Amino acid sequence: MSHALIIEQNILIGKELSERLKNLGFDSFDHVWTEEDAVAIADMRKPDLVLVGDNLEAGDAIEAARRISQKHDIPILLVTSNSFHIKQRMTEGAVLEGPFAFNKIPEAFQVATEHLQQEVAR
């Protein structure tokens, strides 16, 4: 059983991301819209993957991902329309640049997983 945490305030994008992750074998999801909820949910139920969108209802999505990655060894996939800004702020995750094609998610997931494995090995 694989579990993903999706940090994205746009419900339609969140649903599409869930559908794509189902095709990769994920079968449970938590969707959050605030930084604090993202961190709390990740602490309560450690996900196998964290997907991070651009905007949140409250707080900062990148800061949420940073806080989660400091506590847990979890692949982080940043789904963004502003990859330059995101890459400057967070180097821990793989970035899927937008506007993006949802069919790139498997490839980006592989990059995020490999990146985490390299970090853990160091």
The full set of domain ranges for the chain reads: 2-121
- Write the DSSP string, 37-82: HHHHHHHHS--SEEEE-S--SBS-HHHHHHHHHHHS---EEEEES-
Q: What is the token pair recorded at 122?
A: 């160091």
What is the reported pLDDT for 39?
Answer: 95
* Model pLDDT for residues 16-46, shown as the tens digit of each residue: 888 888 888 889 999 999 999 999 999 999 9
pLDDT of residue 47 exceeding 90: yes
* Model pLDDT for residues 64-109, shown as the tens digit of each residue: 888 888 888 888 887 766 555 555 555 554 444 554 555 666 666 6
What is the reported pLDDT for 23?
Answer: 84
**What CATH class has 2-121?**
alpha beta
What is the reported pLDDT for 96?
Answer: 47
